[in-house]
Amino acid sequence: MVEPVLVCKDVKKTFGSIRALKAGNLSLQKGQVVGLVGENGAGKSTILKILAGVHKPDEPGCILLNGKLYEPNTAFEALHQGVVTVHQDINLVETMSVAENIFLNNEPVGPLGTLTAREMNRKAQKLIDQYKIEVNASIQVGRLPNDLKKMIQIVKAMTWNPSILLLDEPTSSLTAMEVDVVLNLVAGLAQHGVTIVFVSHYLSEIFRICDQISVMRDGQTVALFNKDETNVEEVVTQMLGHELVKTAARSARHVAEKKEVLMSVKGLQVPGLLNDINFDLHKGEILGFTGLTGSGLTELAKTLFGVNKFKPSSGSISIEGKQHTSRSPGTSLKEGMALLTNDRLREGILPEFSLTENITLPILKDFGNGVGLLSRSKLNALGEKSVRKLRVSAPNAGVPIRTLSGGNQQKVLIAKWLATKPKVFMLDDPTVGIDVGSKDEIRKIIEQIAAEGVGVAIFTTEIQDIEQLCDRAFVMFRGSIVDEFKGERLEHNRILQSSVSGKAVP
């Protein structure tokens, strides 16, 4: 039997009183792609950082690389031992060339100890051509689309001649077509003998690219599957520790056309971004907008909410029959609109603030005690009530929001906007970047919001959200609405075909 390239045996890691990793196990063969899956907090990031030399395990001697003890003290030591990480975020220098980025901190040296820019470009171009990537090594990275940037990251990693390549959510910021390009590159690397650990929330990609699937839950490796001997449902069950109760498609049981119109948009135009947008949103309806990344989803949501840099040149927006000027987010809030943005960390949470402080931030003026001071007891009562209602997993509403998982942070942000009592609630990519169980909980919360009479608009690249939640859905392509789906037509393959082609489908 062939010896594994890498073996992790019951790897443990604690941070203070928190046991982040109880028993992490991996066994990788040369040229194998192993998918590492699990909910947020399952231990995936911890074991990846141990392999990358960022953290040290609690007990020595638990990892073998090529049959020898593997105990790197730093990430640089890990690099030199052939274990290289490609991080989720694209961490290239936008103002530098492709060649300069590829060799940054690993510059090739000529016979005299120096290397000209021309020679560096030549070496970089040779590498790029080797992996069949169509890009000029001298071009500035900032001019490239995301898929090429991600591939440059991978090529940069390959300059270290890794035996183990750790890919952390490598497709999270890519469109469907860009994903294809990156996955083809990963498959080619495996065929050339590179062993790959592929971490992703996207199970469709895991099943497409991986030979085996390792499932983690609560800091432990709980299952290992050969891809061809399992299915998505079985993997999800192991991730959660119980079977996932699927939300039925709303289109089969909910008829929005009989409801009153809450928001009406006619001829909305933002030069270079949005073209002739028209739709009605009904009371209690969940209306979806989907398409590829860059199709105009976020731009439409922010335009409707009055974000300054997205100003319409023509068209109208009305709320309950009254003209909505969309002058600013503040005006939109007063007129009964709320927007959950797609950037939880930069535009959503205040990480050091408590759950209560995050939830009550937009409505502090409602909590005066009559003498110019805030009523702390009323604030705390609302915070605790919101946390209970949305089933936020936290000791209490007084803990800092940064201590929560991504899914629970998202629940707190939903509670924040619900506190404003919106008539129209817009959510931009509400389930992206959170684990499977949290996605299901967020979807149920959205359904409950609509059941209470709020008009809900979802802007998402996740077709599963559209299928499971929406009464109707529009596909956007380069700033225009190109198709509408409802009833039996509201189905994954049709939506994807329209999203990719930019055309209406039968």
SS3 per-residue string spanning 386-442: HHHHCCCCCCCCCCEHHHCCHHHHHHHHHHHHHCCCCCEEEEECCCCCCCHHHHHHH
- The DSSP-derived string for 156-191 is HHHTT--SEEEEESTTTT--HHHHHHHHHHHHHHHH
Q: Does 426 lie in the same domain as 416?
A: no
Number of domains in the chain: 3
Range of the domain at 195: 6-240
Report the CATH number at residue 202: 3.40.50.300
Q: Does 299 lie in the same domain as 155?
A: no
N-terminal to C-terminal alpha carbon distance within the chain: 53
DSSP state at residue 256: G
Q: Does 67 lie in the same domain as 207?
A: yes
Q: Does 317 lie in the same domain as 463?
A: yes
Amino acid at 121: N
Final residue in a domain of this structure, among 240, 275, 295 = 240
Low-confidence ranges of the chain (pLDDT < 70): 1, 110-114, 173-177, 242-258, 325-326, 368-375
Which long-range CB contacts under 8 A does 16-19 form with residues at least 24 apart? 19/219
CA distance 496 to 204: 14
In this structure, what are the phi and psi dihedrals at residue 361, rounded to the nearest 5 degrees?
A: -55, -45
Beta-bridge mates of residue 475: 290, 483
Q: Residue 263: inside a domain, yes or no?
A: yes
CA distance 23 to 44: 11
Q: Residue 358: inside a domain, yes or no?
A: yes
Residue 272 has what pLDDT?
81
Q: Residue 1: inside a domain, yes or no?
A: no
The 10 Å Cβ neighbour count of residue 142 is: 11
Q: Does 430 lie in the same domain as 415?
A: no
Q: Does 474 lie in the same domain as 453?
A: yes
Q: Residue 481: inside a domain, yes or no?
A: yes
Final residue in a domain of this structure, among 240, 258, 291 = 240
Structure tokens at 205: 């990609």
Prediction pTM value: 0.60
Q: Residue 100: inside a domain, yes or no?
A: yes
**255: three-class secondary structure by DSSP:** coil
Q: Does 413 lie in the same domain as 332?
A: no
DSSP state at residue 143: G
Locus of tokens 């596909």: 475
Q: Does 328 lie in the same domain as 395?
A: no
Q: Residue 94: inside a domain, yes or no?
A: yes
Q: Does 13 lie in the same domain as 114?
A: yes
CA distance 327 to 329: 7
Q: Does 474 lie in the same domain as 382?
A: no
Q: Residue 344: inside a domain, yes or no?
A: no
Q: Residue 341: inside a domain, yes or no?
A: no
Amino acid at 94: E
Distances (CA, A) of 476 to 170, 291, 292: 25, 5, 8
Locus of tokens 């790197």: 72
Give me the count of residues in the chain: 506
Q: Does 477 lie in the same domain as 385?
A: no
Final residue in a domain of this structure, among 186, 205, 240 = 240
Structure tokens at 438: 């949290």
Q: Does 146 lie in the same domain as 33?
A: yes
